[in-house]
Amino acid sequence: MIAVAVVIIGIGVFGYYQTTLRPKAQPVVQVGDRTFGMAYVEQRIRYKVHNATPGDSILLDPRTAAGATLGDIEREELNRQGAPQLGISVSTDEVDAEIRKNLSLPDSADNSTFAEAYRQAVKDSGLNPDDYREVIAAKLLEDKIRQHIRDGIPATADQIRLRDIIVATQADAQKALDRLAAGEDFSAVAADMSLDTNTKNNGGQMDWLPHDALEPAVGDAVFALGVGQRTQPIFSSSTNTYSIYEVLEKASAQAVTDQQRTQIENQSYQNWLAQTSQQVKIVNYYASDTTMSQHLIDVAKQAGAGAPSPTLPPVSTPISTPPSTPGPTGGQP
């Protein structure tokens, strides 16, 4: 009877491990030598949804919430692993100061007041204290990396004015080229086919742009052209679209506006992330596991994100392309 009882208990313990403990430790994403398990990702999804502002897209779609969270995790870890190459770090004192700021506590607040507010903030976050501090530190680190980029933006730059036609497939891009080659007006083709809602009703015309405000492949291609010339379709990995650009004007050493500085900062930061991702191994286990992917979407829905579409594809992130088969792979921007 004792032996039977031991077997029954053993089966129960094994079942609990298989159905409860093991899935929580299941790897979801790996960045370099660090792996993030299911329990951590679930907590981060809930944290993301609970801290979203009204009207945020992640509140409307649980797939967006899950994908954005995974993007956060990958980006934060790329920042942590790439920042030392820039000589950038975040100190414990800086994290403490940022927490005080987030809690709206003055520098004069005593330690007991800070400790109580801090305990409550950690409890409300759903994270453990170490993970809570790490999220705060990650934001500070990204701010420092972006400041490093801003400090390097010149006061003037060669600039270009373009018009574009953006389409979803290579076949559509060829159709647009064929219509242009047949003599159809660029504005008419843009109005009819372009996905760029900011420009399609204006003949595809864009504002002046410095080279570094454009994706590298686009910048290199258009700045090599003369006025009136156009590119072949250029694929954008960040938007999964194809673009045709025509050069309208070019100018040398134009003053960089505040808006352009922001554009350069954002594009340069994405370029830096892409370069950093090439130096580490990124594995998206969820991308090839539909059950895991759907589970993450369900977690986002339970946390308060909107109802998912009946036929949602696996969640994805903007940082890297998933491997075609499970297992380690080099991250692709």
In this prediction, what percent of the chain has a pLDDT beyond 70?
A: 86
* Structure token pair of residue 24: 């929580």
Angle at 63 between CA 17 and CA 293, to 5 degrees: 35
Instruction: Name the least confident of 46-60, 142-156, 271-285, 304-318.
Output: 304-318
Q: What is the pLDDT of residues 275-324, one digit of tens each?
A: 999 999 999 999 889 999 999 999 999 999 985 444 444 454 443 433 33
User: What SS3 string covers the chain?
Assistant: CHHHHHHHHHHHHHHHHHHHHHHHHCEEEEECCEEEEHHHHHHHHHHHHHCCCCCCHHHCCHHHHHHHHHHHHHHHHHHHHHHHHHCCCCCHHHHHHHHHHHCCCCCCCCHHHHHHHHHHHHHHHCCCHHHHHHHHHHHHHHHHHHHHHHHCCCCEEEEEEEEEEEECCHHHHHHHHHHHHCCCCHHHHHHHHCCCCCCHHHCCECCCEEHHHCCHHHHHHHHCCCCCCECCCEEECCCCEEEEEEEEEEEEEEECCHHHHHHHHHHHHHHHHHHHHCCCEEEEHHHHCHHHHHHHHHHHHHHCCCCCCCCCCCCCCCCCCCCCCCCCCECCC
31: confidence class by pLDDT, cuts 50, 70, 90: very high
Please determine, for residue 14, whether its predicted confidence score (pLDDT) is greater than 60: no
In a domain, 330, yes or no: no
Pair 146, 203 in one domain:
no
CATH number at residue 189: 3.10.50.40
* Structure token pair of residue 213: 């405000």
In a domain, 327, yes or no: no
Please determine, for residue 330, whether its predicted confidence score (pLDDT) is greater than 90: no
Whole domain around residue 223: which residue ranges? Answer: 156-255
In what order do the strands lie in the sheet containing 241-255? 209-210, 156-167, 241-255, 234-236
**Which pLDDT belongs to residue 306?**
83
**Which pLDDT belongs to residue 24?**
81
109: confidence class by pLDDT, cuts 50, 70, 90: confident
Number of structural domains (the chain) is: 2
**Which pLDDT belongs to residue 107?**
76
Please determine, for residue 43, whether its predicted confidence score (pLDDT) is greater than 90: yes
Q: What is the pLDDT of residues 173-206, one digit of tens each?
A: 999 999 999 999 999 999 999 999 999 999 999 9
Pair 106, 167 in one domain:
no
In a domain, 249, yes or no: yes
Pair 68, 165 in one domain:
no
Q: What is the pLDDT of residues 227-245, one digit of tens each?
A: 999 999 999 988 899 999 9
Please determine, for residue 18, whether its predicted confidence score (pLDDT) is greater than 80: no
Pair 161, 139 in one domain:
no
Pair 127, 176 in one domain:
no
Nearest alpha-carbon partner for 59 in 71, 45, 73, 44: 45
Instruction: Name the least confident of 82-96, 116-130, 315-329.
Output: 315-329
* Structure token pair of residue 84: 């030392």
**Which pLDDT belongs to residue 333?**
28
Q: Find the helix packing angle between 290-303 and 38-50, rounded to 10°.
A: 40
Look over the chain and give the mean of its residue pLDDT values, rounded to a whole number. 88
Pair 67, 210 in one domain:
no
